[in-house]
């Protein structure tokens, strides 16, 4: 006679019988099913949602790719960078120049602009051997300022303040003009980026990078060439930031310097701080949060316009204050960010109603 | 195995080591002792490459390593456990030990990021080696815990484990038993002997507990104020008047002789 199983019971015991299983990203079958289900939902999203929401999701997704890139460097390897804005720009301009001047198809220009940005990132990563913490932040800020200056003033190459105009890519004669098609492009690249990063940090090089963050002295004694691995971190990080910049450029169709200023660098730092340092999913939560925050605030203002007609004009000015306030609240109350809050919530639900 | 030849190390005008020479034979347990501030840890730092000598040479396995950076010495098979625990405290015990195998593994950024075929096979292969060390050090129950959350004694053990994971020819242990109770000390002494016998590893050990030193080691070097004041078997060291003077003071020497 077979035992009757309660439909509410969760299968007891989570057995892993070999190391391959134990080293999987999602070790549990149920969790893996849930992740696949979520991914399917994201693929269905643009079919079900209005176009405006699809475009917001695309923006958030592209920012997520850049945020994952920054998190590789700052969250996982512990090297603060204030140069994200400029590196996004390097990716954007590289991709624009490759497609318009050299006539290279977007599909090659996208990875090439990533590789080019990786090279520039590695170059500006060289001071990281000698500089730590705030001093390194200053060095990367210098990179930001220098590159930003070039965007503005190297007219022959970058078109100066007017910028460059690019086109949407096309695939097999079908142009990705629609919101939906570009969303899918973003989604595929975001998933690849996330998978790559998750894999990286469960294997040899990723472990070495985390070791450099946690205790560089011990890392060196265990055989890690600090210089080499810091440069690797800068290069891999800049690769994804470059890809993100290229994707963003071909989405908004113009590439102008004002999209790549210092405030963008700060915004990306805020993304990974709020999302969670050293967490791939956290980067995505944080990017979505920062991208959607102004939209939500604006919607709120329009909603209450009838009741408080003056509120809107006041609030537009203090948007930045709310932004800063939220960052401070996160730093004080949950320094590990949204990723940690989500974990806590899951733990709470798992144990509910017997939380002790 | 290891020759330390006329090593001197200066910090500004202060001599941390002056003209220290000794040699460690293959397959022995070698103890480095001396009062606080004698330069023992500085000596280990010079051997593992964290400090670079002001004068002198270090020869390991017939190869001059004086100018090699620390990570290259690890590749040659010199591993080190620190006095003040220097673990990667946000990583789990497993990850710390896997990191110890860094120089024995090969996969690069691309292979790791794609994690298909070779990189995965390599990870699994090395996991076996790491699990063996986990068994050996009896830390199975904490293998998935971040090391920052472990008790002090366990952290010390994980630190030795991480060094062992490198499969070192020469293992440098800086006060592996500091701050432990006698039971933990016994465990650690047993581990050190087992490492020495089963893995045929040469061990250089800094330790304050004279009982432990005399029991475990085949040769002892004594440092005082950066100078080598004694070198020999434990019996010779116990009878060395300079050592007694450094440890117990002038008067007790007279008593011993008197």
Query: Which tokens go with A346?
Result: 């899951």
Residue B233 lies in a domain: yes
- Asked if B103 lies within 8 A of A222 by C-beta distance, the reply is yes
Give the CATH number, domain containing residue B227: 3.40.50.300
Reported for A4-12, long-range contacts at CB under 8 A and 24+ positions apart, including other chains, are: none
Residue from B79, B115, B118 to probe the interface with A (highest A Cβ count within 10 Å): B115
Residue B46 lies in a domain: yes
Q: B2 forms bridges with which residues in the sheet?
A: B24, B60
Q: Work out the pLDDT band at B160, boundaries 50, 70, 90.
A: very high
Residue B84 lies in a domain: no
**Residue among B70, B119, B131 whose CB faces A221 most closely:** B70
| Alpha carbons A231 and A342: distance in angstroms, whole number | 32
Residue A95 lies in a domain: yes
- The answer to whether B165 and A211 have CB atoms below 8 angstroms apart is no
Residue A322 lies in a domain: yes
Residue A33 lies in a domain: no
- B130 and B99 in a single domain? The answer is yes
- B191 and B174 in a single domain? The answer is yes
* DSSP single-letter state for residue B146: B
- The answer to whether B175 and B81 have CB atoms below 8 angstroms apart is no
- The answer to whether A327 and A290 have CB atoms below 8 angstroms apart is no
- The answer to whether B172 and B78 have CB atoms below 8 angstroms apart is yes
- The answer to whether A187 and B67 have CB atoms below 8 angstroms apart is no
- B7 and B66 in a single domain? The answer is yes
Instruction: Name the A residues in 222-241 with CB < 8 Å from any B CB.
Output: 222-226, 232, 236
Residue from A14, A25, A195, A223 to probe the interface with B (highest B Cβ count within 10 Å): A223
CA distances from B256 to B61, B220, B221, B237, B242 (A): 40, 21, 21, 14, 12
- Asked if A202 lies within 8 A of B115 by C-beta distance, the reply is yes
| Alpha carbons A200 and B109: distance in angstroms, whole number | 7
Query: Rounded to 5 degrees, what are φ and ψ at A78?
Result: 75, 20
- The answer to whether B219 and B7 have CB atoms below 8 angstroms apart is no
Give chain B's mean pLDDT. Answer: 91
Please give, rounded to a whole number of angstroms, the shortest distance from the CA of A247 to a CA of chain B.
21
Residue A231 lies in a domain: yes
Asked if pLDDT for residue B257 goes beyond 70, the answer is no
**Residue among B82, B112, B115 whose CB faces A218 most closely:** B82
- B95 and B71 in a single domain? The answer is no
Residue B214 lies in a domain: yes
- B132 and B204 in a single domain? The answer is no
Query: Which tokens go with A306?
Result: 């009838």
CA-CA-CA-CA torsion sign (A109, A79, A226, A224): negative
| Alpha carbons A270 and A287: distance in angstroms, whole number | 9
- B146 and B101 in a single domain? The answer is yes
Residue A96 lies in a domain: yes
Asked if pLDDT for residue B55 goes beyond 50, the answer is yes
Pairing of strands B170-174, B55-60: unpaired
- B70 and B106 in a single domain? The answer is no
Nearest CA in chain B to A231: B109
Considering B166, B181, B196, which residue would you say is the last residue of a domain?
A: B166
Nearest CA in chain B to A237: B109
- Asked if B102 lies within 8 A of A223 by C-beta distance, the reply is yes
Q: Which of B149, B143, B157, B159 is nearest to B93 (CA)?
A: B143
Please give, rounded to a whole number of angstroms, the shortest distance from the CA of B99 to a CA of chain A.
6
- Asked if B107 lies within 8 A of A210 by C-beta distance, the reply is no
Contacts of B80 in chain A (CB under 8 A): 221
Considering B166, B184, B201, which residue would you say is the last residue of a domain?
A: B166
- Asked if A214 lies within 8 A of B98 by C-beta distance, the reply is no
Residue A203 is inside which H or E element, if any? Answer: none
Query: Rounded to 5 degrees, what are φ and ψ at B251?
Result: -65, -40
Pairing of strands B170-174, B78-81: parallel
Query: Rounded to 5 degrees, what are φ and ψ at A221?
Result: -65, -25
- The answer to whether B89 and B147 have CB atoms below 8 angstroms apart is yes
- Asked if A222 lies within 8 A of B102 by C-beta distance, the reply is yes
Q: Is A29 exposed, middle or buried (0-12, 13-18, 19+ CB in 10 A)?
A: exposed
- Tell me if chain B has a CB within 8 Å of the CB of A208: yes
- The answer to whether B168 and B47 have CB atoms below 8 angstroms apart is no
Please give, rounded to a whole number of angstroms, the shortest distance from the CA of A239 to a CA of chain B.
12
Please give, rounded to a whole number of angstroms, the shortest distance from the CA of A168 to a CA of chain B.
28
Please give, rounded to a whole number of angstroms, the shortest distance from the CA of B144 to a CA of chain A.
11
- B197 and B256 in a single domain? The answer is yes
| Confidence at residue A1, expressed as pLDDT on a 0 to 100 scale | 46
- B54 and B156 in a single domain? The answer is no
Q: Is A103 exposed, middle or buried (0-12, 13-18, 19+ CB in 10 A)?
A: exposed
- Tell me if chain B has a CB within 8 Å of the CB of A118: no
Q: What is the tens place of the pLDDT at every residue in B4-28?
A: 999 999 998 889 999 999 999 999 9
**Residue among A202, A210, A220 whose CB faces B71 most closely:** A220
Contacts of B100 in chain A (CB under 8 A): 222
Q: What is the tens place of the pLDDT at every residue in A180-231?
A: 999 999 999 999 999 999 999 999 999 999 999 999 999 999 999 999 999 9
| Alpha carbons A7 and A45: distance in angstroms, whole number | 30
Residue B228 lies in a domain: yes
**Residue among A197, A200, A224 whose CB faces B102 most closely:** A224
- The answer to whether B31 and B217 have CB atoms below 8 angstroms apart is yes
Residue B86 lies in a domain: no
**Residue among B69, B86, B119 whose CB faces A218 most closely:** B86
- Tell me if chain A has a CB within 8 Å of the CB of B48: yes
- Asked if B120 lies within 8 A of A232 by C-beta distance, the reply is no
Query: Which tokens go with A187?
Result: 């989604």
- Asked if B79 lies within 8 A of A222 by C-beta distance, the reply is yes
> Which residue range forms the structural domain that includes residue B102?
91-166
CA distances from B251 to A276, B210, B244 (A): 62, 20, 10
Query: Rounded to 5 degrees, what are φ and ψ at B217?
Result: -90, 150
**Residue among B95, B109, B119 whose CB faces A207 most closely:** B95
The count of domains in chain B is 2
Helix (H, G, I), strand (E, B) or coil at B133: helix
The count of domains in chain A is 1
Residue from A27, A203, A236 to probe the interface with B (highest B Cβ count within 10 Å): A203
Residue B85 lies in a domain: no
Secondary structure (DSSP) of A138-169: HHHHHHHHHHHHHHHH-HHHH-GGG-EE----
- Tell me if chain A has a CB within 8 Å of the CB of B105: yes
Q: What is the mean pLDDT of residues B217-226?
A: 93
How far apart, in Å, do the first and last CA atoms of chain A sit? 36
CA-CA-CA-CA torsion sign (A202, A205, A206, A211): positive
In chain A, which ranges are continuous DSSP H helix? Answer: 19-22, 29-48, 51-71, 84-100, 106-125, 133-153, 155-158, 179-200, 204-214, 216-221, 226-252, 262-275, 280-303, 311-317, 319-333, 337-351
Query: Which tokens go with B109?
Result: 């950024």
Q: How many Cα neighbours within 13 Å face the side chain of A87?
A: 41
Q: What is the pLDDT along chain A (356 residues), one digit of tens a residue?
A: 455 555 555 556 677 788 888 888 887 788 888 899 999 999 999 999 999 999 999 999 999 999 999 999 999 999 999 999 999 999 999 999 999 999 899 999 999 999 999 999 999 999 988 888 889 999 999 999 999 999 999 988 888 888 898 888 888 778 888 899 999 999 999 999 999 999 999 999 999 999 999 999 999 999 999 999 999 999 999 999 999 999 999 999 999 999 999 999 999 999 999 999 999 999 999 999 999 988 888 887 777 777 777 766 776 667 778 778 888 888 888 778 888 888 888 878 877 776 65
Q: Which of A22, A8, A74 is nearest to A268 (CA)?
A: A74
Query: Rounded to 5 degrees, what are φ and ψ at A175?
Result: -75, 140
Q: In angstroms, how far is CA A244 from the centroid of its own chain? A: 8
Please give, rounded to a whole number of angstroms, the shortest distance from the CA of B77 to a CA of chain A.
9
**Residue among A200, A207, A224 whose CB faces B98 most closely:** A207
- B17 and B47 in a single domain? The answer is yes
- Tell me if chain B has a CB within 8 Å of the CB of A51: no
Contacts of B103 in chain A (CB under 8 A): 222-223
Considering B166, B192, B209, which residue would you say is the last residue of a domain?
A: B166
Residue B193 lies in a domain: yes
- B119 and B246 in a single domain? The answer is no
Q: Which of B38, B46, B20, B69 is nearest to B228 (CA)?
A: B20
Q: What is the tens place of the pLDDT at every residue in A15-29?
A: 778 888 888 888 778
Helix (H, G, I), strand (E, B) or coil at B5: strand
> Which residue range forms the structural domain that includes residue A116?
45-351
Q: What percent of chain B has pLDDT over 70?
A: 96
Residue A37 lies in a domain: no
Instruction: Name the B residues in 110-149 with CB < 8 Å from any A CB.
Output: 111-115, 119-120, 122-124, 127-128, 131
- Residue whose pair of structure tokens reads 């910049």 in the numeric block: A245
- B180 and B161 in a single domain? The answer is no
């Amino acid at each position: 006679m077979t035992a009757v199983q309660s439909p509410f019971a969760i299968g007891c015991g989570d057995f892993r019988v070999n190391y391959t299983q134990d080293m999987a990203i999602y070790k549990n079958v149920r969790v893996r099913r849930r992740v696949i289900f979520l991914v399917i939902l994201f693929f269905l999203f643009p079919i079900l949602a209005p176009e405006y929401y699809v475009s917001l999701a695309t923006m958030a997704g592209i920012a997520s790719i850049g945020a994952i890139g920054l998190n590789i460097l700052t969250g996982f390897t512990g090297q603060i960078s204030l140069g994200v804005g400029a590196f996004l720009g390097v990716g954007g301009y590289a991709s624009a120049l490759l497609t318009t001047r050299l006539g290279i198809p977007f599909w090659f220009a996208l990875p090439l602009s990533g590789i080019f940005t990786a090279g520039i990132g590695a170059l500006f990563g060289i001071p990281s051997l000698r500089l730590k913490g705030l001093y390194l932040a200053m060095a990367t800020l210098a990179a930001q300022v220098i590159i930003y200056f070039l965007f503005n003033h190297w007219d022959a190459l970058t078109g100066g303040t007017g910028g460059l105009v690019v086109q949407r890519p096309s695939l097999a004669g079908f142009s990705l003009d629609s919101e939906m098609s570009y969303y899918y492009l973003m989604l595929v690249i975001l998933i690849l980026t996330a998978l790559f990063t998750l894999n990286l940090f469960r294997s040899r090089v990723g472990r070495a990078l985390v070791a450099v963050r946690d205790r560089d002295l011990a890392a060196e004694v265990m055989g890690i060439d600090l210089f080499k691995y810091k440069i690797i971190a800068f290069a891999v990080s800049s690769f994804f930031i470059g890809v993100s910049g290229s994707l963003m450029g071909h989405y908004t169709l113009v590439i102008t310097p004002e999209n790549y200023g210092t405030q963008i660098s700060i915004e990306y730092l805020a993304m990974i701080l709020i999302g969670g340092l050293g967490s791939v999913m956290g980067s995505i939560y944080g990017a979505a949060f920062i991208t959607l925050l102004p939209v939500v605030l604006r919607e709120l203002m329009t909603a209450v316009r009838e009741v408080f007609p003056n509120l809107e004009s006041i609030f537009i000015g203090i948007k930045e204050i709310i932004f800063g306030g939220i960052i401070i609240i996160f730093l004080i109350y949950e320094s590990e960010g949204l990723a940690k809050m989500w974990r806590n919530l899951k733990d709470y639900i798992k144990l509910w109603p017997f939380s002790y | 195995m290891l020759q330390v030849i006329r090593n001197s190390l200066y910090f500004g005008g202060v001599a941390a080591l002056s003209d220290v020479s000794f040699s460690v034979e293959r397959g022995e347990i070698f103890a480095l002792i001396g009062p606080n501030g004698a330069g023992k840890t500085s000596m280990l730092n010079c051997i593992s490459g964290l400090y670079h000598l002001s004068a002198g040479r270090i020869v390991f396995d017939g190869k001059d390593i004086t100018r090699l950076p620390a990570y290259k010495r690890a590749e040659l098979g010199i591993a080190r456990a620190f006095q003040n625990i220097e673990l990667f405290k946000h990583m789990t015990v497993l990850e710390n030990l896997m990191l110890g195998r860094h120089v024995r593994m090969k996969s690069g950024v691309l292979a790791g990021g794609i994690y298909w075929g070779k990189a995965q096979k390599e990870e699994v292969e090395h996991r076996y080696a790491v699990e063996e060390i986990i068994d050996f050090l009896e830390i199975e129950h904490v293998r998935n815990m971040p090391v920052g959350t472990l008790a002090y004694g366990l952290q010390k053990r994980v630190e030795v484990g991480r060094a062992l994971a490198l499969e070192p020819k020469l293992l440098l242990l800086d006060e592996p038993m500091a701050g432990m109770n006698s039971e933990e000390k016994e465990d650690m002494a047993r581990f050190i002997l087992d490492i020495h016998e089963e893995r045929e590893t040469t061990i250089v050990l800094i330790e304050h507990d004279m009982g432990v030193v005399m029991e475990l080691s085949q040769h002892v070097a004594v440092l005082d104020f950066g100078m080598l004041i004694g070198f020999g078997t434990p019996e010779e060291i116990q009878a060395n008047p300079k050592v007694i003077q450094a440890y117990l003071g002038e008067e007790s020497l007279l008593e011993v002789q008197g």
